[in-house]
Structure 1
Amino acid sequence: MDLSIIVPLFNEDESLPELTDWIARVITSNGWTYEVILVDDGSTDNSWEVIENLSEKNPHIKGIRFQRNYGKSAALNEGFKAAHGDVVITMDADLQDSPDEIPELRRMILEDKYDLVSGWKKKRFDNTLTKNIPSKLFNAAARRSSGIKLNDFNCGLKAYRKKVIKSIEVYGEMHRYIPVLAKWAGFRKIGEKVVEHRARKYGTTKFGWERFINGFLDLATITFISKFGKRPMHFFGLYGTLCFLLGFVCSVYLIVSKLMEPATFFLTTRPAFYLGMSAMVIGMQLFLAGFVAELISRNSPERNIYLIEKKLGL
């Protein structure tokens, strides 16, 4: 199969017929084989009924329905599991991503040999201060910490080589950092393409201001995981050792001073006593945290299980 188009959605029943018709028109005009996987993330409107109707009319359209709302990362992860295309393209369901970008994204994967191509909505229709400034700060921080030179990490329109999406696991809120996850998995050729950003035609955005706070928290998480996810003891053990040694040196200094001048002071009256004891305790706690983290990292097979109510054509 040439293409898999994965569309995560939540309460987008109005836009789905137009979006799927547009996708089908673009792909069939190029003569490619394809599938469209619509992942209903626990919608409360008529989205699933629309998906069922669309699937009856077009066998290339398939559906996954979550029992409740898990979030975009969960929807993408399940879509990746179900995809069969040599090139996989993700896009949002709100018609702000243009299916006309599909041919060029496919070409960049197959001919330019990119592992992943991320869209860049250089000119936006929602370019407000509350979105623009936090987004620029977020992307700058992501570039600096990951070393990946992308202008828009969070763009939903992306293209992947099949091997990439079968090699990564997207969970929590990590959909913003799929390029980082791909690089972490060993896929180094990551490109960017300027894509059209269209004004929202139906409904309202499902994302609030809290996504920026979550974005920075997830950035800290993915940075730590990418460096120490398989060896957490290297992080906790290092700082635990340094902290314990600091406390130990303070304690030895106090004991030697007390032995040399036993009548001059009481140990518990010296600030260094509390500094040393606190540092040794914190150092031990960091060591224990490292051991626990090592155990968790080796025994977490259930962190990405979701209840799927129905599937269509899969």
Structure 2
Amino acid sequence: MSLSAAADQNPSRRPALSVVIPMYEEIESLGPMVERVHEGLAAYPGDWELICVDDGSRDGTGTRLREIAKEAGPHVRVLQLRRNFGQTAAMQAGFDAARGELIATLDGDLQNDPADIPRMVDELLARDLDLLQGWRHKRQDDLVMRKIPSRIANAIIGKVTGVRLHDYGCSLKVYRAEVIQEVRLLGEMHRFIPVWVAGVTAPERIGETQVAHQARQFGRSKYGISRTFRVLLDLLAAFFFLRFGSRPGHFFGSIGILFGLLGGLMMAHLMVVKFGLGEDIGNRPLLFVAILFLVASLQFLTTGVLAELLTRTFYATGERTHHRIRWASDPETAGWKTCR
């Protein structure tokens, strides 16, 4: 019997769920994390699997994950990146490997509580959402180094993108697989996943809910105050791709036309001065500014045309970027964990 058929016969049954956890040098928290996932999903009324993605750790995380997966059973799947590509790449690898109708993500540092996942699944289905974002309402982090920069960043992101959430940085999320798998995560896009999801679904289908948050128990944080500057750069990229991702010519063309109009007006004024008033304009700074604006206009317009050609070529070929990965557990023998 298929999973969908089983769900039809049992209305209380939930869709198959894939839990994706990217990990980087979290060897101390691996055992407790996998144990807490099993405790949190022990009564989940549906099939589920756990996908642990080792992001090129050098502290033995991959080896320990393989041992834990062997003990836990075939529903625990381990995926190892060949080197450290970053959290975004690890999450994308997990999304590509997920087989569930729903996908949940959380950090591997024990600060997110897996027990929130079943409730979030129920809420996502009840509210008919495509993404339910966790909100660490009582965040257990340093006030100056983490909380204040995060609040400022969340406010700026909401203002710029129009997708207003309290906590973009919380990794605890539940997605519909068919939606998140339409999004290709590159660079450090994991910080703005709700923004990228808004590019393939209506913002009204993105919600948030309060979740538990604990202080870090093992290891050290991989983030610092320096990430604030990277967030600002990523925000500019997110804004551009969200508004002009499929029509970059409009972005560059608008700037080119503006510069061209300003340069043209300056030149028109100088022509009146030259031929109407008979004054010399050769040494006027305005002449050089006008020439600069006209040259910049031409450059922006040609850049827009080239960007349009590249965009059309990209969508025509449908090529995707993949990172070098290898399965640490056999995907052919992977199974599901089911509440009996």
* TM-score category, normalised to shorter length: over 0.9
Secondary structure, aligned partner of 2:41? helix
C-alpha contact 1:87 1:109 (8 A) present in aligned 2: no
One-letter amino acid matched to 1:55 = A
C-alpha contact 1:7 1:92 (8 A) present in aligned 2: yes
Quick one: which of 260, 268, 284 aligns to 1:252?
268
State the distance in 1 between where 2:85 and 2:312 align: 24
State the distance in 2 between where 1:25 and 1:242 align: 60
Distance 1:255 1:99, change over 3 A: same
State the distance in 2 between where 1:68 and 1:298 align: 32
Q: How does the TM-score come out when normalised to structure 2?
A: 0.87
2:244 matched residue in structure 1 = 228
Quick one: which of 139, 162, 166 aligns to 1:151?
166
C-alpha contact 2:39 2:115 (8 A) present in aligned 1: no
Distance 1:84 1:281, change over 3 A: same
C-alpha contact 2:130 2:205 (8 A) present in aligned 1: yes
Distance apart, 1:165 and its partner CA = 1.5
2:186 matched residue in structure 1 = 171
State the distance in 2 between where 1:199 and 1:170 align: 28
Distance apart, 1:213 and its partner CA = 1.1
Distance apart, 1:257 and its partner CA = 2.8
1:89 aligns with 2:101: no
Quick one: which of 77, 82, 91 aligns to 1:67?
82
Quick one: which of 209, 212, 221 aligns to 1:196?
212
2:323 matched residue in structure 1 = 306
Secondary structure, aligned partner of 2:142? coil
Secondary structure, aligned partner of 1:17? helix
Distance apart, 1:29 and its partner CA = 2.8
Q: Give CA deviations for 1:40-70 in whole Å, capped at 9, x if unaligned.
A: 1110111111111122122111011111111
State the distance in 2 between where 1:280 and 1:16 align: 59
2:228 matched residue in structure 1 = 212
Quick one: which of 85, 95, 117 aligns to 2:132?
117
Q: Give CA deviations for 1:148-185 in whole Å, capped at 9, x if unaligned.
A: 22100110100111222222111111111111111111
Q: How does the TM-score come out when normalised to structure 1?
A: 0.94
State the distance in 2 between where 1:43 and 1:71 align: 11
2:338 matched residue in structure 1 = none
Gaps of 5+ in 2: 1-14, 332-340
Alignment of 1:46-57 (within 5 A): 46-57=60-71
Distance apart, 1:6 and its partner CA = 0.2
Q: Give CA deviations for 1:98-151 in whole Å, capped at 9, x if unaligned.
A: 111011011012233221111111112213212222111100011112222210
C-alpha contact 2:266 2:286 (8 A) present in aligned 1: yes
Matched-pair identity in %: 35
2:283 matched residue in structure 1 = 269
State the distance in 2 between where 1:168 and 1:303 align: 11
One-letter amino acid matched to 2:208 = E
1:26 matched residue in structure 2 = 40
2:10 matched residue in structure 1 = none
Gaps of 5+ in 1: none
C-alpha contact 1:233 1:290 (8 A) present in aligned 2: yes
Secondary structure, aligned partner of 2:282? helix
C-alpha contact 1:12 1:47 (8 A) present in aligned 2: yes
Secondary structure, aligned partner of 1:312? coil
One-letter amino acid matched to 2:34 = T
Distance apart, 1:310 and its partner CA = 3.5
One-letter amino acid matched to 2:244 = F
> Cα RMSD between the aligned structures?
1.7
Distance apart, 1:261 and its partner CA = 4.2
Distance apart, 1:299 and its partner CA = 3.9
Give aligned pairs, total: 312
State the distance in 2 between where 1:14 and 1:86 align: 31
Secondary structure, aligned partner of 1:184? coil
Greater mean deviation of Cα atoms: 33-42 or 179-188: 179-188
Distance apart, 1:245 and its partner CA = 2.2
Distance 1:130 1:28, change over 3 A: closer
One-letter amino acid matched to 1:10 = Y
1:297 matched residue in structure 2 = 311
